[in-house]
Chains A and B, each alone.
Chain A
């Protein structure tokens, strides 16, 4: 379990997170939603340890991440997988080398064992015959799938995704959402996703946290988000024409 306890984070005068608390459970996919500038990315970067909170704590299975030494943090990070918004694939390396990298770095597996694992995760994200391609030769959706494959190759306990659907068409976005959900169920991971995509909310929103101006404004699920009377949440949800039209039709 990940427990976030009342974290604050400022950059100079700009206070981005103002006392956010949350818990994330094993086998669950949790979504962090909110408008641009609400603090979603800073929140997830605090969870990853890329930013240190000014106040508050983050506990990974009871272990305080903030109090850990650099070495302990690095060991914990080997249990994490991250899918960055732009994929963050190593562009001078092939797909195979990208996915194999954590195995080379942190395991003593033979080349054959690593290759077997790479092919397994590539198959898992439904990609085949791309081993020797470079990231620039792949479509946006394929790059995201390679990023997911790299994130899960070490069997992580925690999976984080920053806007995994950005720049993807709705069909590919749904495929990516479902893939993350399946993997989370299968490996019983704790998955935290940053998104502002309402399709993702409807597809995989088992738990949803709504951030506004660095404050947790609302928490619920895909079942309750359309029924809430929280004005900030309804403004966010119905900010798209599509959802407003659906609501109008539904109300009639």
Chain B
């Protein structure tokens, strides 16, 4: 399957158009949910850390530090990827599965189109190169959500929080998070595409394939997360 996917596109202009369409469908249309979840989860992480740091000997700036680390290392790349696996994965499987059962993929094949390349490669490129931006946005909004939570609850001051964010900032950790994101993005594009492309039957089977695709993409992301963390940080 991947051999055909990574063949040279048959028509460059059509391929470029498809990449932009996929960036819109799989990326831009996910920004709203990513922003919403990141902001609130960032706030919750900061509040919970604040509530648990009640020892007067522990400096308050650690709340900002812990929030930053949790968001950059795990929440933004992994948690967001699992959410995107649900939203985007089900979209990819159901749209491609519907094309399969209504013979639209056969129609493309009969025209002489390399359907694996035409349908899947733009999705891979769109996700692998666009999701790092989405995850960066999730990082920024998550940290911002933590700051807003501190302002509202009074658990910590803005100065403490910003000090914690600046403390021991390692650019490599952002690089690690974005590397993980690119691997997860590849999984989000390919696993649901596989389930959609090879579905057989009717609408019920398309629904079942969507569920399977989301479950397996999430499971594989979690497993890859473990090994990537060991490889890149261990």
Distance between Cα atoms of A82 and B102 in the complex (Å): 14
Chain A residues with Cβ below 8 Å from B104 are 88-91
Given B14, B102, B106, B109, which contacts A104 in the complex, CB threshold below 8 Å? B14
Known A76-B112, A106-B10; 8 more pairs at CB < 8 Å: A48-B109, A49-B109, A77-B112, A78-B111, A88-B102, A88-B107, A91-B102, A106-B112
Q: Do B111 and A88 touch (CB < 8 A)? A: no
Chain A residues with Cβ below 8 Å from B112 are 74-78, 80, 106
Q: Do B103 and A84 touch (CB < 8 A)? A: yes
Q: Is A86 an interface residue (CB 8 A)?
A: yes
Q: Do B103 and A102 touch (CB < 8 A)? A: no
Q: Is B162 an interface residue (CB 8 A)?
A: no
Question: Beyond A86-B102, A88-B102, is A105–B107 a contact (Cβ under 8 Å)?
Answer: no
Given A77, A89, A105, which contacts B109 in the complex, CB threshold below 8 Å? A77
Q: Which of A80-100 contact B (CB under 8 A)?
A: 80, 82, 84-86, 88-91
Chain A residues with Cβ below 8 Å from B103 are 84-86, 88
Q: Do A105 and B110 touch (CB < 8 A)? A: no
Q: Is B136 an interface residue (CB 8 A)?
A: no
Q: What residues make up the interface of A, taking CB atoms closer than 8 Å to B? A: 48-50, 74-78, 80, 82, 84-86, 88-91, 101-102, 104-106, 160
Q: Is B183 an interface residue (CB 8 A)?
A: no
Q: Do A105 and B11 touch (CB < 8 A)? A: yes
Closest B residue by C-beta to A75: B112
Chain B residues with Cβ below 8 Å from A48 are 109-110
Q: Do B11 and A101 touch (CB < 8 A)? A: no
Q: Which of B144-195 contact A (CB under 8 A)?
A: none
Query: Lowest 8 A-B CB distances belong to which pairs?
Result: A77-B112, A88-B107, A88-B103, A78-B112, A74-B112, A82-B110, A84-B103, A88-B104
Q: Do A104 and B11 touch (CB < 8 A)? A: yes
Closest A residue by C-beta to B101: A86
19 contacts between A and B (CB under 8 A): A49-B109, A50-B109, A74-B112, A74-B113, A77-B111, A77-B112, A78-B112, A80-B110, A88-B102, A88-B103, A91-B102, A101-B111, A102-B111, A104-B13, A104-B14, A105-B111, A105-B113, A106-B10, A106-B112
Distance between Cα atoms of A105 and B114 in the complex (Å): 11
Closest A residue by C-beta to B114: A74
Distance between Cα atoms of A85 and B106 in the complex (Å): 12
Provide the B89-125 mask, 1 if CB < 8 A to any CB of A, else 0.
0000000000000111011011111100000000000
Q: Do B102 and A50 touch (CB < 8 A)? A: no
